[in-house]
Amino acid sequence: MPEGPIVPDAISSNGSYPHSPHLPRLRAGVVGCGYWGPHLIRNLHEMAEVELVGVADPRPDRLEYVRRSYPAVAVFPDHRELLRSQVEAVVLATPIKTHYALAREALLEGKHVLVEKPLAASVDEAAELVQLAQERGLVLMVGHTFLYNPAVRELRRLVREGELGRIYYGDSARLNLGMFQRDVNVIWDLAPHDLSILMYVLDQEPVMVSARGSTCVQAGVHDVCYLEVLFSGGTSAHVHVSWLDPDKVRRLTLVGDRRMAVYNDVSPAKLRIYDSGVESPRPTDNYGEFEFSYRHGQIVIPYLHWREPLRLECEHFCDCVRTGGRPLSDGEQGLKVVAVCAAADRSLAEGGIRVPVGLPSAALVGAAGKVVRGPAIA
């Protein structure tokens, strides 16, 4: 992974990441063209700075879709043919259990990699990928798409600049009916979004997690889960993820001691800032004086210069490959998210106990790529 500053806030006034138009086009390929792959293919195909060389998928119907939609793009039933072609970078949009093997193969072939979330299916796998990318000087980026969402970026600014005050807690919900997965539970499928958003906006590391949930539809696969995540700065957050809810909900509430904010991704007004709060009463023996004072002020909906987050993510990947920059959602962030999911799985299996999150920073990734566990917090 290239050293150097992360480029998170290097976003220009028109909402895009800075490009280097004088550089040659990036030759890129996509592996996996199921549900999500076509969105990546469309964006990469539209980008002037990218030459979409090829798409690999073992399913003939998916290759036929690519042939029809993008006649100039080569199709490969075997991803190894794509890796052996002239591509410099690959984007992996395949099932979670395949991420490690495919990303490893691509890095060993000297390709920069953007892998869909979550980075891998275990902490050891994720740590090995981070280490491999570092050793080879290649970009390893994870598709934590919501970090490229203008509403999430504005929420981070509000927190950093103290507009909300001290954050009491966060509450995140990602619910709808579907899409059920067979090989991973709902935490691995949906929570990487909530976790990456929380880490980014709070600018804190997850240190402890507990999880409870239900296995309603498929035996042994949790489809509804509730996580409590404790962060390094003392903030706690609840994350509710579900494939079994009648409503589509994509919402994060942050409650601070000055203001409160609600990021609702399915609303046209994606971000609302509430000038609301409560003052606790001074300690007194007199019951008549013991009153909370509530503040119900204005609700502000800030203007956001909107661009498709996935496009910004693809532009950022391209830019990092071209300039040697470090991605905002780099392999290390992917590793931390995987570490929370793994700790949450353990908690689920042990009745919801609090489980410390292995803190996988560069310093904690041992020589063999094993993650050293962080200290337990009472």
Contacting range for ligand NAD; rule: CB under 6 A; set: 6-14, 58-66, 211-219, 294-302? 58-66
Between the alpha carbon of residue 5 and those of residues 2, 73, 232, 310, the distances in Å are: 9, 34, 22, 22
Q: Enter the DSSP assignment of 71.
A: T
Contacting range for ligand NAD; rule: CB under 6 A; set: 17-25, 91-99, 121-129, 147-155? 91-99
Q: Does 358 bind ligand NAD (CB under 6 A)?
A: no
- Kindly tell me which of 43 and 145 has the beta carbon lying closer to ligand NAD: 145
What are the structure tokens assigned to 264, written together?
Answer: 């609702």
Q: Does 59 bind ligand NAD (CB under 6 A)?
A: yes
- Kindly tell me which of 93 and 357 has the beta carbon lying closer to ligand NAD: 93
The answer to whether 204 touches 185, Cβ cutoff 8 Å, is: no
Q: Which of 43, 44, 65, 79 binds ligand NAD (CB under 6 A)?
A: 79
- Kindly tell me which of 176 and 323 has the beta carbon lying closer to ligand NAD: 176
- Kindly tell me which of 79 and 111 has the beta carbon lying closer to ligand NAD: 79
Q: Enter the DSSP assignment of 6.
A: B
What are the structure tokens assigned to 192, written together?
Answer: 């990487």
CA 317 from centroid of its chain's CA atoms: 14
Shortest CB 250 distance to ligand NAD, Å: 10
String marking each residue 93-112 x if it binds ligand NAD according to CB under 6 A: xxxx-x---x----------
Count of residues that bind ligand NAD according to CB under 6 A: 23
Q: Does 303 bind ligand NAD (CB under 6 A)?
A: no
The answer to whether 335 touches 126, Cβ cutoff 8 Å, is: yes
- Kindly tell me which of 172 and 235 has the beta carbon lying closer to ligand NAD: 172
Cβ atoms within 10 Å of 217's Cβ, excluding its own:
11
SS3 368: coil
Q: Which helix (H) or strand (E) holds 65?
A: helix 60-69
Q: Which of 36, 70, 168, 226 binds ligand NAD (CB under 6 A)?
A: 36
Q: Does 62 bind ligand NAD (CB under 6 A)?
A: yes
Burial of residue 278 (number of CB atoms within 10 Å: 0-12, 13-18, 19+): exposed
Q: Does 294 bind ligand NAD (CB under 6 A)?
A: no
Contacting range for ligand NAD; rule: CB under 6 A; set: 12-20, 25-33, 228-236, 326-334? 25-33
Provide the H-helix boundaries in 97-205.
Answer: 99-108, 123-136, 150-160, 186-202
Cα(299)–Cα(274) distance, integer angstroms: 5
Using CB under 6 A, list all residues that contact ligand NAD.
31-37, 56-59, 62, 79, 93-96, 98, 102, 116-117, 143, 145
